[in-house]
Amino acid sequence: MPQLLLTVEDYRKLVDKYDTFLFDCDGVIWLGTTIIEGVKESIAFLKSQNKRVVFVTNNSTISRKEYSKKFAGFGMSISKEEIFSSSHATAVHLKNIVKFSPDKKVFVVGGQGVKDELHLANIRFCNKETSALKKPADYKEFVNDPEVGAVICGLDRDINYAKLSIAHLYLTLNKDCLFIATNNDSTYPVGDFNLPGAGSILSVLETSTKRVPTIVGKPYKTLFDCISADYHIEKSRTIMVGDRLNTDVQFGINSGIDTLIVFTGITSEHEAMDPNSTQATYAMTSFGEISKLA
């Protein structure tokens, strides 16, 4: 069972125990465009205590640069080097792990963040508009680009049947076409409700193509390997703070670090304290509580 942190003394012991804090974003730092109460002050307090703060988000809709601007919009000075998004990790995966050929390009079902990070990695992608395509013959005619060697699927708030059909055709007409997912979160929290996440969009293509994607984001270790490539991580002094048990907490377990589940996003206290759930090291209502130490 996670240790439930309730008192200022509990919070002090938590801060003293770790040097590096890895933070999930949706449901921990913010809910959509609203920052969670006390979080800005809590992050500032950690930095005042010379703690290292790194943000690790499965949300691939924007690039690290745009995330840095989102933080700035809340009055938080966070560099893109302190942010590891699944959009960035997916570009790193294609470039450094897959060694994706420069002769090839990617068809993207996803947000601008994926395209921006692919561009930064000098990986080409299809930019042809698909929303005007209405007939099956149009879809079949569209997939005539022999250079497409991978389909990436991420959270896409402008999803449409044409995009899904074209991705389906690339993945079924050419078995050598790579199938990569930025993450497979089923939902994402936007306040007192949740919306379909990347995993719900991905499930359409998994069902129609009967293919299994390589998933880059949490809980898989690719994101941790990205962080470890840029930062020396002392695992015993590092903790992952998240709102989802099957991504954030499992990511921490897979990475060999302690974990803290908070109840400001997807996971309720009841779910977190259930002995049959994935077990976090600690649990608390909100990371905003740490601001009480300031």
Q: Which residues are documented as binding site?
A: 24, 26, 218, 243
The single residue of 26, 116, 185, 258 carrying the catalytic annotation is 26
183 binds, among Mg ion, ligand DEZ, none (CB under 5 to 8 A by kind): ligand DEZ
Tokens of 164: 């899904």
Member of 24, 117, 258, 289 binding Mg ion (CB under 5 A): 24
Stretch binding ligand DEZ (CB under 6 A), from 54-62, 116-124, 274-282, 286-294:
54-62
User: 26 an active-site residue?
Assistant: yes
Q: Distance between CA atoms of 255 and 262, rounded to whole angstroms?
A: 19
Nearest CA to 178 among 151, 204, 217, 209?
A: 151
Task: Select the residue interacting with Mg ion from 2, 27, 110, 288 (CB under 5 A).
Answer: 27
- Which is nearer to Mg ion, 82 or 243 (by Cβ)? 243
Annotation: binding site for Mg(2+): 24, 26, 243
Binding mask 19-38 for ligand DEZ (x = CB under 6 A): -----xxxx-----------
Determine which one of 10, 19, 24, 248 is catalytic. Answer: 24
Q: Which residues bind Mg ion (CB under 5 A)?
A: 24, 26-27, 243, 265
Catalytic residue positions, numbered = 24, 26
Residues that bind ligand DEZ (CB under 6 A): 24-27, 57-59, 155, 183, 185, 188, 197-198
